[in-house]
Amino acid sequence: MARVAAILVSCVLLLAATSSHGLKYGYYNRRCPPAEFIVRKVVGKAIRQNPGIGAGLIRLAFHDCFVQGCDASVLLDPTPANPRPEKLGPPNFPSLRGFEVIDVAKAALERVCPGKVSCADVVQFAGRDAAFFLSDHKVNYTLPGGRLDGRVSLENETLAFLPPPSFNLSELVDSFRTKGLDVDDLVVLSGSHTIGRSHCSSFSDRIGTPPSDMDAGLAAVLRRRCPANPNFNNDPTVVQDIFTPNRLDNQYYNNVLRRKVLFKSDAALLTSTETARKVVENAAVRGRWERKFARAMVKMAAIEVKTAANGEVRRNCRVVN
């Protein structure tokens, strides 16, 4: 009886230490003890120079996970054999940023523990650390490691899996469900739009006259900052959260409620009673969104993780070994 209990207890402990998909908390404790510290230091320095890069790193973690899983496929540069990788896809080029920070972290890791730390883990740790710094340390979570780097990266999969800002609620819910995320994850992760920037082309259809469901004052401000017809050569950026543009906080939900958000996909969160209620909760209850955000980021960081059969630890994050 005692033995059965002991076996049961060790099973539970094993399950607790190993999250799904074979990822493990403290994965680098023995393989490369300073790994997480090195990434955090590089990210902290980059954010002190430009907080916008932190926003880019959080978005990078999302865009990596939604296409081919969290496997650093978004980092691969074009080659003659694969001229159109993910990073050239419309959701990523030219807006996605933070690649150089990943390069700096990876170079430092290769000096200390060559061949040990995957680029896929660096991307997720960097997103986590950006959230830590931009939230003034309020979003503070541990993240399991052990992701492997993929060898497949295709531009045509970006538009297929990354939701565009023109999506309505049911399209957003479907897009997240395809990746194993639920409605709560959608509402909570959309809160990332409390930092960073957007190009005018991502919302220009919402600021013309007659006005859309966007707050008239915000639309007027945006009309002054954006050309009537933005294009690749003339596409300025504006901040997403006009109140606290570099602070990862729950201000986004107040902005949604006041219709002071840029995208149709942001405004869409008020179009069902279920999601509208979640918006109100995230806006109203202090500390609640930060906790939920951490949990949802851990969940997102486990999407379709690669195994030894289809993954590797790249030496250079921009090219397969």
Ligand X SMILES: *[C@@H]1O[C@H](CO)[C@@H](O)[C@H](O)[C@H]1NC(C)=O
> Which of 299, 305, 45, 16 is CA-nearest to residue 181?
299
- CB neighbours of residue 275 within 10 Å: 21
Asked if residue 170 binds ligand X (CB under 6 A), the reply is yes
Q: Dihedral sign, CA of 73, 76, 82, 85? A: positive
Asked if residue 10 binds ligand X (CB under 6 A), the reply is no
- CB neighbours of residue 258 within 10 Å: 13
Residues 218-247 that bind ligand HEM (CB under 6 A): none
Minimum Å gap between C-beta 222 and ligand X is 24
SS3 readout for 159-214: HHHCCCCCCCHHHHHHHHHHCCCCHHHHHHHHHHHHCCEEEHHHCHHHCCCCCCCC
Asked if residue 140 binds ligand X (CB under 6 A), the reply is yes
Which residues belong to the annotated binding site for substrate? 163
Minimum Å gap between C-beta 296 and ligand HEM is 8
Asked if residue 89 binds ligand HEM (CB under 6 A), the reply is no
The nearer residue to ligand X, 155 or 313, going by C-beta atoms, is: 155
Please give the span between the terminal C-alpha atoms of the chain, in angstroms, as a whole number: 51
Helix (H, G, I), strand (E, B) or coil at 238: strand
Asked if residue 167 binds ligand HEM (CB under 6 A), the reply is yes
Of 197, 292, 306, 314, the residue at the interface with ligand HEM (CB under 6 A) is 197
**Bridge-based pairing state of the strands 197-199 and 237-239:** antiparallel
Active site residues: 63
Beta bridge partners of 239: 197
Q: Dihedral sign, CA of 139, 140, 141, 145? A: positive
User: How far is residue 206's CA from residue 213's CA, in Å, rounded to a whole number?
Assistant: 8
Of 68, 124, 198, 282, the residue at the interface with ligand HEM (CB under 6 A) is 198
Partner touching 140 among ligand HEM, ligand X, none, CB below 5 to 8 Å by kind: ligand X
Partner touching 117 among ligand X, ligand HEM, none, CB below 5 to 8 Å by kind: none
Partner touching 35 among ligand HEM, ligand X, none, CB below 5 to 8 Å by kind: none
Residue 238 near residue 197, CB atoms below 8 Å: yes
Residue 207 near residue 223, CB atoms below 8 Å: yes
| Residues near ligand HEM (CB under 6 A), total | 26
Minimum Å gap between C-beta 107 and ligand X is 26
Which residues belong to the annotated binding site for heme b? 193
> Residues for the chain: how many in total?
321
Which residues belong to the annotated binding site for Ca(2+)? 64, 67, 69, 71, 73, 86, 194, 241, 244, 249
The nearer residue to ligand HEM, 95 or 282, going by C-beta atoms, is: 95
Tell me, what DSSP letter sits at residue 127?
Answer: H
The nearer residue to ligand HEM, 150 or 196, going by C-beta atoms, is: 196
Record the tokens describing residue 251, joined without a space: 């201000």
Minimum Å gap between C-beta 55 and ligand HEM is 4
Minimum Å gap between C-beta 240 and ligand X is 23
Residue 268 near residue 262, CB atoms below 8 Å: no
> Which of 115, 302, 45 is CA-nearest to residue 37?
45
Partner touching 264 among ligand HEM, ligand X, none, CB below 5 to 8 Å by kind: none
The nearer residue to ligand HEM, 190 or 313, going by C-beta atoms, is: 190
Residues lying near ligand HEM in the complex (CB under 6 A) are found at: 52, 55-56, 58-59, 62, 95, 97, 163-165, 167, 172, 186, 189-190, 192-193, 195-199, 202, 263, 265
Residues lying near ligand X in the complex (CB under 6 A) are found at: 137, 140, 154, 156-157, 160, 168-171
